[in-house]
Amino acid sequence: MTTAELSDQADHASPTEPPNRNDAPNREAILAEVIQVSRLFYDKGLVEGTAGNVSALVANNRVAITPSSMPYHEMEPQDLVCVNLEGEVASGERNPSAETAMHLACYKSFPEVRAVIHSHPLYASMFAVARQPIPAAIEEVTIYIGGNIEVCDYAMTGTPELGQAVVAKLQDRSAALLANHGLICVGKNPQDALHASLVVERTAQIVWGARVLGNSYSVPEKVNHDFGEIYRLIRKEMWN
């Protein structure tokens, strides 16, 4: 099936009330970007095997998400599954990711969000298991993530409760830790959500190392506040 046919079939799903969004750019370009980012996040070591998932908004009320249990380097745009915001499959031959509900919770709660990545990075997951937030110890964390990365309440993978838990932590952040599980990041496009994931993982490694050396310090509160304001302004004005 071509991506154009995917696009046609996407219109057959039952409609739901769409959030207030501008039209997403070219659908085929977004599908290609989801595939490219999926391969990159595997190559960067953010997941092992077929774990994790990537999605992007391809139209108002349409999300393309990676299928479950498929190796990322075998995945092509036609393997992505298009769902509406209620999780009903609009097009695609495969089963959507088991974490689709968590992705959709982000799109439904935040109209400006256009891409979601869930991964299991090593150092960030250490903080998730320790149930400790990753502090905003590097300025770029606040610029790109909005501040420290907090830990969601534990909820089992694939449940609606997990979606509610991450939404509670993503109000003014691009990233949240899933207790005993991993990381979720949102962004204005897949590349942006991947960048956020890499910033979080890099910071987790730096903080972990700094604590081994003796101590870690957060960026001064005023600096964090000021950069946090910039993050919130950019998210509000430039994501949608």
Single out the catalytic residue among 33, 99, 112, 201.
99
8 Å CB contact between 240 and 112: yes
- Residues 171 to 210 in contact with Zn ion, rule: CB under 5 A: 182
Which residue, 50 or 60, is less far from Zn ion as judged by CB? 50
Task: Tell me, yes or no, if 99 is annotated catalytic.
Answer: yes
Given the complex with Zn ion, which of 121 and 182 has the nearer CB atom? 182
Cβ nearer to Zn ion, comparing 56 with 183: 183
Q: What is the CA radius of gyration of the chain?
A: 17
* Shortest Å, Cβ 53 to Zn ion: 8
Output 146 or 182, the one with its CB closest to Zn ion: 182
Whose CA is closest to 125, among 163, 178, 170?
Answer: 178
HSE toward the beta carbon, residue 162, CA cutoff 13 A: 21
Q: Give the binding-site size for Zn ion (rule: CB under 5 A).
A: 1
DSSP state of 96: B
| Smallest gap from residue 98 Cβ to Zn ion (A) | 8
Residue nearest to Zn ion (CB): 182
- Non-local CB neighbours of 70 within 8 Å, separated by 6+ positions: 50, 79, 94
Q: What is the number of other CB atoms lying within 10 angstroms of the CB of residue 78?
A: 16
Minimum CB separation of residue 27 from Zn ion in Å reads: 26
The residues of the shown chain that bind Zn ion, judged by CB under 5 A, are 182
Tell me which residues are annotated as active site: 99
